[in-house]
């Protein structure tokens, strides 16, 4: 196991550095490292790591979402208002609609199979988007109009919405019926995650005010609480709808509002943790990718992915109608809301494991979506933010 961890970190970091030198997103190098070292290529990652790969990826997500919560400016988000709510579900709905319209024609599958595929593909990737938006916030790009905050908040809720819809469609494919409760779960899980996260963050702020401990100990406490809420969702989400990752981010937000100085110091600590967590996350995402499935999809699947991305971007544009954002800023939001990785890696294989006829094809399209949109989306964000967003009231580019 130790040898595999060393390979993941050293080769992943080197490949990320090499991609940066070539003006490509570092995550591309990390994903390619995972594909190369993974079980479908050189098979150099120990099976004990692959068995807990999903848990390790979730830890990395917890780290970056906590970091986002500790840095997120709620006042800027409030100014954005309505679009922030719409970004949570409208772009995903448009992308699923695009899949239902295009996939039956391009891949010759049923409408229900296309809906399942759409629910897998429609989720945006917080793992790609959150670090990029944090970088923008740190450098002051788009902050005046709350653009990074808008995209951050939307990405966190978008995943919850899509995963619930995915469970509804796969249930239908297995013969289950749609009930009103299936859709009630979506707002209930989001609200419960926000409320519990806010309460925990306030309690932590009061505790840190009364009990003086090292910042490292505070980081351990924050991580432990995050692990507990994620475990709670795993065990009891059928009985109590609960969005644990939203809760994790809201803990950081509440702590930041009550103890700003402490939150600033903890944010620096989590930033350092992300250096290793990022490599683990994207290398292990790459390790889930079976290139042999890509061959079964073909050119039609590539056309399909770009086609549904157009639908998604139209959905983002509609969310931003009536706002004060310029056309350049709207274009940036449309670009920034395209990367996919973590959710597709997590649920792309579920239809296959359920024995659904569309399972192989869904997994193939999910793999392609990761390989195309994660590096391309990250690259486009890096290439365009200085040209399309404002900094200090001046438009760059």
Do residues 121 and 97 touch, judged by C-beta distance below 8 A? no
Write the pLDDT tens digit of every residue in 59-98. Answer: 988 998 898 889 877 776 667 678 888 998 999 999 999 9
Do residues 323 and 95 touch, judged by C-beta distance below 8 A? no
The count of C-alpha atoms lying within 13 angstroms of the C-alpha of 109, restricted to the half-sphere facing its C-beta, is 27
Write the pLDDT tens digit of every residue in 242-280. Answer: 888 889 989 999 999 999 999 999 999 998 999 999 899
Write the pLDDT tens digit of every residue in 303-341. Answer: 999 999 999 999 999 999 988 899 999 999 999 999 998
Q: CA–CA separation, 266 vs 107, rounded Å?
A: 48
> Average pLDDT for residues 43-50, to the nearest whole number?
93
Write the pLDDT tens digit of every residue in 121-155. Answer: 998 988 889 899 999 988 989 988 889 989 988 88
The count of C-alpha atoms lying within 13 angstroms of the C-alpha of 314, restricted to the half-sphere facing its C-beta, is 12
Is the per-residue pLDDT at 397 higher than 50? no
DSSP bridge partners of 141? 391
> Average pLDDT for residues 105-129, to the nearest whole number?
92
> Average pLDDT for residues 289-293, to the nearest whole number?
76
Distance (Å) of CA 135 to CA 145, 149, 346, 351, 373: 16, 12, 26, 36, 19
Write the pLDDT tens digit of every residue in 28-41. Answer: 899 899 999 999 89
Helix/strand/coil percent split, the chain, to 5 = 80, 0, 20
Do residues 6 and 272 touch, judged by C-beta distance below 8 A? no
Distance (Å) of CA 298 to CA 68, 80, 112, 264: 37, 41, 21, 48
Handedness of CA 88, 89, 92, 94 (dihedral sign): negative
Q: What pLDDT, on the 0 to 100 scale, is given for residue 151?
A: 92
Tell me the three-class secondary structure of 337-353, residue by residue: CCCCCHHHHHHCCHHHH
Q: pTM for this structure? A: 0.82
204: number of Cβ within 10 Å? 21
**Based on the number of CB atoms within 10 Å of its own CB, is 150 exposed (0-12), middle (13-18) or buried (19 or more)?**
buried
């Amino acid at each position: 196991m130790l040898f595999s961890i060393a390979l993941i970190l050293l080769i992943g970091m080197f490949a990320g550095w090499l991609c940066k030198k070539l003006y490509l997103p570092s995550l591309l190098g990390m994903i390619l490292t995972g594909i190369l070292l993974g079980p479908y290529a050189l098979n150099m990652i120990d099976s004990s790591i692959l068995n807990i790969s999903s848990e390790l990826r979730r830890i990395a997500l917890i780290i970056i979402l906590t970091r986002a919560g500790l840095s997120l400016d709620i006042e800027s988000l409030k100014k954005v208002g309505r679009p922030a709510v719409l970004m949570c579900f409208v772009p995903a709905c448009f992308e699923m609609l695009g899949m239902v319209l295009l996939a039956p024609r391009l891949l010759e599958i049923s409408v229900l199979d296309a809906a399942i595929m759409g629910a897998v593909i429609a989720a945006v990737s917080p793992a790609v988007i959150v670090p990029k938006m944090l970088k923008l916030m740190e450098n002051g790009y788009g902050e005046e109009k709350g653009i990074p905050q808008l995209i951050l908040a939307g990405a966190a809720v978008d995943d919850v919405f899509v995963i619930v819809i995915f469970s509804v469609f796969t249930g239908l494919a297995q013969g289950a019926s749609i009930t009103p409760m299936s859709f009630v779960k979506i707002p209930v899980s989001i609200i419960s995650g926000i409320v519990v996260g806010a309460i925990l963050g306030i309690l932590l702020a009061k505790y840190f005010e009364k009990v003086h401990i090292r910042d490292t100990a505070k980081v351990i406490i924050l991580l432990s609480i995050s692990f507990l809420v994620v475990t709670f969702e795993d065990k009891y989400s059928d009985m109590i709808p609960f969005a644990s990752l939203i809760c994790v981010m809201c803990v950081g937000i509440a702590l930041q509002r009550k103890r700003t100085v402490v939150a600033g110091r903890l944010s620096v600590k989590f930033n350092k943790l992300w250096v290793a967590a990022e490599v683990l996350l994207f290398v292990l995402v790459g390790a889930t990718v079976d290139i042999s499935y890509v061959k079964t999809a073909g050119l039609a699947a590539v056309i399909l992915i770009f086609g549904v991305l157009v639908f998604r971007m139209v959905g983002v544009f509609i969310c931003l109608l009536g706002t004060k954002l310029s056309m350049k800023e709207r274009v940036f939001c449309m670009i920034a809301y395209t990367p996919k990785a973590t959710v597709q890696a997590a649920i792309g294989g579920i239809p296959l494991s359920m024995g659904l006829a569309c399972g192989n094809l869904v997994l193939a399209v999910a793999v392609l979506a990761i390989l195309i949109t994660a590096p391309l989306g990250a690259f486009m964000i890096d290439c365009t933010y200085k040209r399309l967003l404002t900094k200090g009231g001046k438009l760059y580019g």
